[in-house]
Structure 1
């Protein structure tokens, strides 16, 4: 099972590259669909898997976008990893809507807080609307897709356990 899980995590990290390539124009930069695979990993495989996909996914998205914030993207990757772990905990304890709302709020308002102090208040205020739209789109996609994929993943896991 460990090899299948690692392969699935790798597939989801690769899916973040595809999501990162789908750009929705925004006032600062663009909105990418790179958070959805992290939420998928968090819900189906747990917090650590979601953290890996979220952190790696953000770095991949930033790399494809030209790394406009430079090394500050590593801070954002850590924040995405943390938000993925929180999403996993809430989602897996049955609080699915709360997980989605907390992810949207955390990614929109809390994650960019360091930039309020490091860059400027104007930057923070201008990036919040884009982050809200991007977070909402990624979360809605995740909350629609996860329940449909969950039975398939559970079936794969149960078949793997029965064959051992």
Structure 2
């Protein structure tokens, strides 16, 4: 295994562990309970490739679901896959320098679009009840990431921790 791959796997595991910690900080809502489990995965785009950031995002959601007792059962697999895709694309936008678009994409994709499958799977009422809480939690996670990302990027660039 290449040295960089081992470094990326280790950093992904660490980010996933921090996602677990964030999953205990809940943002209560009417129907759903979101958490601050996404911020570490969002921050990881500063030093991880898209694949590894996406994995951290998916694992972060599963940790949050576990700490909530898996209220949506196996549907959390769908959400974890969505988180993987959202963080993966967010990372690609970050790497390409789309600084405003990446945040808009993140908020719209995670706060609104990710709930669309549940409009059809569960009900329109569930979708309408879940989106406000999901949107608030997404904005909180994004703001935390937005504020911390310049510091994290500077640390990783100065110490040459990753060669992304």
- Give me the whole-angstrom Cα distance separating, in 2, the residues matched to 1:2 and 1:89: 18
CA contact (8 A) 1:42 1:48 kept: no
The 10-residue stretch of structure 1 (34-43 or 131-140) with the greater mean CA deviation from structure 2:
34-43
Unpaired runs of 5+ in structure 2? none
Corresponding residue of 2:90: 87
CA contact (8 A) 2:12 2:52 kept: yes
Secondary structure class of the residue paired with 1:2: helix
- Cα drift, residue 139 of structure 1: 0.7
Q: Deviations over 1:70-103 (max 9, x none)?
A: 0000000000000001101111111122111111
How many residues are aligned here?
Answer: 160
- Cα drift, residue 31 of structure 1: 2.3
Structure 1 position 7 matched with structure 2 position 3: no
Secondary structure class of the residue paired with 1:112: helix
Matches within 5 A, 1:136-151: 136-151=139-154
Secondary structure class of the residue paired with 2:69: coil
CA contact (8 A) 2:19 2:38 kept: yes
The one of 66, 71, 81 aligned to 1:68? 71
- Cα drift, residue 8 of structure 1: 1.5
CA RMSD of aligned residues (A): 1.5
- Cα drift, residue 43 of structure 1: 3.2
- Give me the whole-angstrom Cα distance separating, in 1, the residues matched to 2:33 and 2:121: 20
Matches within 5 A, 1:12-161: 12-157=15-160
CA contact (8 A) 2:43 2:145 kept: yes
- Give me the whole-angstrom Cα distance separating, in 2, the residues matched to 1:109 and 1:25: 17
TM-score normalized with structure 1 length: 0.91
- Cα drift, residue 110 of structure 1: 1.1
CA contact (8 A) 1:44 1:150 kept: yes
